[in-house]
Structure 1
Amino acid sequence: MQKLVFVLALMVVFSFNGFSVAAAHDYYGSTITAEQAAQADAIAKSIADEVMSNSAYTTDLQKVRAAAEIVTAYGAKCRYGNDENKYYRSPYGVFISGNMTCAGMVRAMGRVLDFMGYEYVHVNENEWSHQWITLYMDGKQGYIDPSVFPGGLAGYGEYRY
């Protein structure tokens, strides 16, 4: 009960213009081991570190676009669709096993955003619909769709898929 109250309190604290930022995201589900999650997290962290250490990126949008390009490049090497372990819907699928869907791409991008220090919303999470990210960058509402090849999409405003 205390955990639920804490999560709800965080959602209230992180409420922005009509949507809430969840306190925690489910990136890996029950089919990924802790070791597999650590492997994927290491790649996500290395992407975040690479982008955040590049002084050429001076705005949030530049940083997010650069990260989206890298995540999308990983996704471009993947097979699309189901695998028996359901890796396709996690960062492990995108970064390690070579299986992806838009859900996995969003979770991979989300994990990178975590390491970059950004709060975000996973749009249409766990639905049979296209999924993407909304977030605030440079004080403005924006979006990321890492499933658009090549290079992903990131920009200000509302995303019209």
Structure 2
Amino acid sequence: MKLSLKRVVCAVFGITMICGLILFPVNAIKAQAAGYTQGDGVKLSEDTRKTLEKGTTKYNGVDYSGAPYYYNPLYYYLNYSDLRDAFGPNPELLIKHYVEFGIKEKRVADKQIVLGAYPQSSSYEYVVPSYQKTSKKQDGMVVISGNLHSNGGMTRAQEVAARDIAYQIAQHVYDHVKPKHDAYKDGDQIKMIVYATGIVRAYCDLGVELTQDQVKSSNSKMYRTAYGVFIGQEYTCAGTTRALGLVLDYLDAVMDDDPPLKWVHVNANKWDDQWCQIVCDNHEAYADPINSWAGYGKHPNQGGAKKDIKNYYNYANESDVITIKKPKVD
């Protein structure tokens, strides 16, 4: 029995390529995965990503890391959700599948591809550890998908004003953390995120959080935008999430060659708590400025431990918080 997978358009670090239709033998996958349990081949004490980076590239005495295959177990794992679901981070099962099925299916294992992407989009997937930097210290991976983010309905003039402040915050945070050493150091990004979260919270303290009734009766949509947080002095969790998200976008840009810093708007457009789920230091993290919560792992509303919350005062003085407001824009 074969299952036909959808044609995917893939982008490789900005170079778009079209992948062919892949025919996937489900029964063969199930047979190989029989007896597999999450964590086989991976010690809970070590980083799953690093385990895959050093995973075997040999099968039946043949090394597939060289020409013409250039097989990389980490890339093979990241590129295909069906393999992640079937095998987890098991290097032995991944190389076995690649040799027996992946090569003839023309699966990509020599570079990281972007799933479900199309030109000019920001669709991508990052597969990162969830708990290895938390108090749980356990294994587990999460797929964080990136999408284009709504600005909440800002006018062009409002967006220009909000982006100006977000950029200044990002540069301020970067300059505060980065100069302590020349090269990227693991843990830099979470410091920047926590600090940025505290600054956005400080802007909130200057304004008013609208209730659900006030939102329903409001003629303005400013409360759900970054402009409302930075300048308009009225906000909801939707606005604070978008405000922090703008700062994170600029932080990702100014960090340039460092590991990616990407975020997802959790519960966007819902009557529920909203926050940023983040790819940070190649691990899962979160930031919730309305509650002043940020840290590695999952948000407390998703089962994360509150003791893992980091306070921005560890990384900044109160006097560092930027509170200068620009004039309102109609």
Give the TM bin, normalised by the shorter chain.
0.7 to 0.9
Which among 235, 243, 247 is matched to residue 112 of structure 1? 247
> In the aligned structure 2, how far is the partner of 1:6 from the partner of 1:77?
41
Superposed CA offset, 1:88-139 (max 9, x none): 0000100011010000000000000011112111100011100011112122
3-state SS, counterpart of residue 118 of structure 2 = helix
> In the aligned structure 1, how far is the partner of 2:295 from the partner of 2:170?
18
Which among 108, 129, 132 is matched to residue 275 of structure 2? 132
Superposed CA offset, 1:42-90 (max 9, x none): 0001000101112259611111111111011001111111342110000
* Equivalences for residues 5-24 of structure 1 within 5 A: 6=118, 10-11=122-123, 13-16=124-127, 17-22=142-147, 24=148
Give the structure 1 partner of residue 204 of structure 2. Answer: 75
> In the aligned structure 1, how far is the partner of 2:281 from the partner of 2:126?
17
With over 3 angstroms needed to count, the CA separation of the structure-2 counterparts of 1:146 and 1:10, relative to structure 1, is same
Higher RCO, Cα 8 Å, sep 6+: 1
The offset of 1:28, in angstroms, is 3.3
Which among 228, 231, 234 is matched to residue 99 of structure 1? 234
Q: Contact 2:286 / 2:297 at 8 angstroms: preserved in 1?
A: yes
Give the structure 2 partner of residue 43 of structure 1. Answer: 165
With over 3 angstroms needed to count, the CA separation of the structure-2 counterparts of 1:9 and 1:73, relative to structure 1, is closer
With over 3 angstroms needed to count, the CA separation of the structure-2 counterparts of 1:88 and 1:7, relative to structure 1, is farther
The offset of 1:38, in angstroms, is 0.4
TM-score by length of structure 2 reads 0.43
Identity of aligned residues (%): 33
Q: Contact 1:78 / 1:94 at 8 angstroms: preserved in 2?
A: yes
Q: What is the aligned-residue RMSD (CA, Å)?
A: 2.1
- Which structure 2 residue ranges, 5 or more long, are not aligned? 1-115, 128-141, 253-260, 302-330
Give the structure 2 partner of residue 26 of structure 1. Answer: 150
> In the aligned structure 2, how far is the partner of 1:115 from the partner of 1:40?
12
Q: Contact 2:144 / 2:279 at 8 angstroms: preserved in 1?
A: no
**Which of 1 and 2 has greater Rg?**
2
Which among 299, 308, 311 is matched to residue 159 of structure 1? 299
3-state SS, counterpart of residue 122 of structure 1 = strand
Q: Contact 1:28 / 1:37 at 8 angstroms: preserved in 2?
A: no
**Counterpart amino acid of residue 128 in structure 1:** W
3-state SS, counterpart of residue 96 of structure 1 = helix
TM-score by length of structure 1 reads 0.85
Give the structure 1 partner of residue 130 of structure 2. Answer: none
How many residues in Structure 1 have an aligned counterpart in Structure 2? 151
Q: Contact 2:264 / 2:277 at 8 angstroms: preserved in 1?
A: yes
> In the aligned structure 2, how far is the partner of 1:155 from the partner of 1:84?
35
The structure with the greater share of residues assigned to helix is 1
**Counterpart amino acid of residue 143 in structure 2:** G
